[in-house]
Amino acid sequence: MKLWSDSWVNGERIPLRFAAGKPDVASGVSFSDNLSPHLAWSEVPAGTKSFALICHDFDVPSRSDDVNQSDREVPADLARVDFFHWVMVDMPGTLGELKEGAFSRGFTAHGKPGPAVAALVGARHGLNDYTGWFAGNAGNADMAGDYFGYDGPFPPFNDSFIHHYVFTVYALSVARAPVEGHFTGPQVRQAIYTHVLAEATHSGTYTLNKRLL
């Protein structure tokens, strides 16, 4: 199975329009266009009944003590964890492409609705990790909500890491993924494990640290 994108070359920097955050001269950082990227796949195995999609950043600081502090950087030796930016299941087994901007245009305060996917009948969106981020940070209480679907990169502006974002499409042997309700990336990973016929990835990098740009 192969996965590619017309939005950026695999492994290269993700363009600003696909990010949730961008550099801003006046405020340092601000919200960006937050477009969902183009993705396409081929060489799908026989017996594929649906597809699942997960996008995650594996370079997220495990502690928030130093995050977005202008007088210091997040240490490079700090342990890193996953942050999920997009979770979608039950895409038809006949599908082969997601158009640029079809699932997100702009950053929506309190989150885009779900789990039903307006742009793809029958598919379901899971919660991305902006749900927990805004709920767990008192300074962002006015943004709290259930964040379904795609919301792109917005790494700490003072992180010493350039973050890596991995989009993975899974070909599944079931028409409906065995998850219910407001499901998350880790729940989907666990639920589809025994149903994966093939998978493919497309990745990119992003940073808001001026020193690394």
Structural domain harbouring 98 = 2-206
Q: What local confidence, expressed as pLDDT, does residue 8 receive?
A: 98
* Tens digits of residue pLDDT in 105-124: 999 999 999 999 999 999 99
* Tens digits of residue pLDDT in 127-155: 999 999 999 886 787 999 999 999 999 99
Q: What percent of the chain has pLDDT over 70?
A: 100
Q: What percent of the chain has pLDDT over 90?
A: 95
Q: Is residue 213 part of a domain?
A: no
Q: What local confidence, expressed as pLDDT, does residue 10 receive?
A: 98
Q: What is the mean pLDDT of the chain?
A: 97
The residue assigned the tokens 């195995």 is: 45
Q: Which residues of 114-150 are buried (b: 16+ CB within 10 A; e: fewer)?
A: bbebeebeebbbbbbbbbebbeeeeeeeebbbbbbbb
Global pTM reads 0.97
What average pLDDT score do residues 84-110 get?
Answer: 98
Q: Is residue 212 part of a domain?
A: no
* Tens digits of residue pLDDT in 2-50: 999 999 999 999 999 999 999 998 889 999 999 999 999 999 999 999 9
Instruction: Decide: residue 179, CB within 10 A, 0-12 exposed, 13-18 middle, 19+ buried.
Output: buried
For residue 200, the domain's CATH number is 3.90.280.10
Q: Is residue 134 part of a domain?
A: yes
Task: Assess contact for 128 and 20: CB atoms under 8 A.
Answer: no
What is the domain count for the chain? 1
Q: Is residue 33 part of a domain?
A: yes
Q: What local confidence, expressed as pLDDT, does residue 140 receive?
A: 80
Q: Is residue 104 part of a domain?
A: yes
Q: What local confidence, expressed as pLDDT, does residue 138 receive?
A: 65
The DSSP secondary structure of 166-181, one letter per residue, reads EEEEEEESSSS-S--S
Alpha helices (H) along 66-106 = none
Q: How many residues does the structure list for the chain?
A: 213
